[in-house]
Amino acid sequence: MTKNFLKGDDLPRFLEILAGYGELHGPVRSDDGVITFRPLCGPADLLLDYHRTLIPPKKYLLPPRETILAYAPESGYRQPGTPAPKIVLLGVHPCDLAGIAYLDRVFLGNEPDPLYDARRSALTLIGLSCEPDDSCFCGDRGVSSAGDLFAERTGGGLSLTSMSRRGSEILEKLSPFLAEKEPPSSAQRACSVLTEITLAAARQETFRQSPLWDDFAARCLSCGACSLCCPTCYCFDVLECGALDGKTATRLREWDNCLFRAHGEVAGGHNFRKDRRERFRYRYRHKYLGFGPTRGEVACVGCGRCREVCPAGIDLLELFTGGCHETGN
């Protein structure tokens, strides 16, 4: 038995130690009732029992809009010296940790992205166990590799497990406040749709003949909410913003969306995904079959956000449960 149990009363001590690693952020209910990751004002702010935030933690690694280059005539293009502030993000559910692990593979794999790399190194992640609801379906994904510490809620406190060197260091500092307690047995979550997704991805299923594509296309408003709230959607657009001096400029990258019409457009106006049906298939393919280096990887982490926020009630999971099987490209 290891000393890893933190009583609920000692949560403030835990936060004090974590504050040495950066500004504390966590799930907070805002004044307008939206659950959001934001700076914590105190321990009472932190929600330990919540379903999901509206926007996933990707915003800490890929801000909705960021400067990637700055241009001035005398110096040409330069990388901006944007400092990455040290942040400790608490209360991250396993699905969101899995989302970050996926983004790590994309942005830190081959040729790391320097801006992502700087933010990621400055981020300490404290995972938190959750209770599934009707929208989510992560199943039993196990503990992802992305976190530093994982906190399992159990009988009046938190059972802490280290997942990185930084996590072990934090536990070490916290040890005066830790008690011995049998770790909670993790409940097995059966999830039939996850099995369906895994099987479909393994056979490179495209559901080419499914009538659902037309149904989705007819209802979709192209609002982009599904991508905004997705922990693994990372498509970005690149924009150049000339300054009012007419000489200098900044180059920005900002979240883009594969359901937007302009996503597949080329110079001269030709569009390779001009109708919504094609754009939905593009989204499906990226999410479940993978592109480029993530080919063969399911990007969906089962957080349930897109099903919850879609104003038209579109749910890609219907593809998997609809019983239409046809493999093709």
Partner 1 sequence: MRPVTDPRTMPEPATIIDLRPLSADTVFFRLRLEEGAASRFTFLPGQFVQLSVPAGGEVPVSLAGIHGRHGILELCVRRAGRVTAMLHDLPAGAVVGIRGPFGTGFPVDAWRGKNVLLLAGGLGLAPIRSLLYHLLRNRPDYGEITLMYGARNPAAILFKEELAELSGRRDLHLFLTVDFATEEPAGGLTCRTGLLPTLLHGVNFPMGNTVAAICGPPALYRCLTAELDNFGFPSEDIFLSLERRMKCGVGRCCHCAVGSLFCCTDGPVFRLAEVREIEGAL
Residues at the contact surface with partner 1, assessed by CB under 8 A:
69, 71, 73, 76-77, 79, 106-107, 111, 113-114, 206, 208, 234-240, 242-243, 246-249, 251, 253, 256, 258, 263-268, 270, 272-273, 278, 281-282, 285-286, 289-293, 295, 328-329
Q: Write down the least CB distance from residue 226 to partner 1, Å.
A: 15
Residue 108: helix, strand or coil by DSSP? helix
| Residue with token string 């934001």 | 38
Tokens of 73: 């005539």
CB 301 within 8 A of CB 95: yes
236-242 β-sheet, strand order:
76-78, 65-72, 249-255, 236-242
Residue with Cβ nearer partner 1 (187 or 272): 272
Residue with Cβ nearer partner 1 (161 or 248): 248
**Beta-carbon count within 10 A of 72 CB:** 13
Residue with Cβ nearer partner 1 (190 or 244): 244
Q: Write down the least CB distance from residue 207 to partner 1, Å.
A: 12
- Residue 110 amino acid letter: N
Q: Write down the least CB distance from residue 60 to partner 1, Å.
A: 18
Residue with Cβ nearer partner 1 (48 or 252): 252
Residue with Cβ nearer partner 1 (126 or 225): 225
Q: Write down the least CB distance from residue 95 to partner 1, Å.
A: 21
| Residue with token string 């909670």 | 184
Q: How far is CA 17 from the centre of its chain?
A: 26
Pairing of strands 23-29, 35-39: antiparallel
Q: Write down the least CB distance from residue 229 to partner 1, Å.
A: 17
| H/E element, 149 | strand 149-154
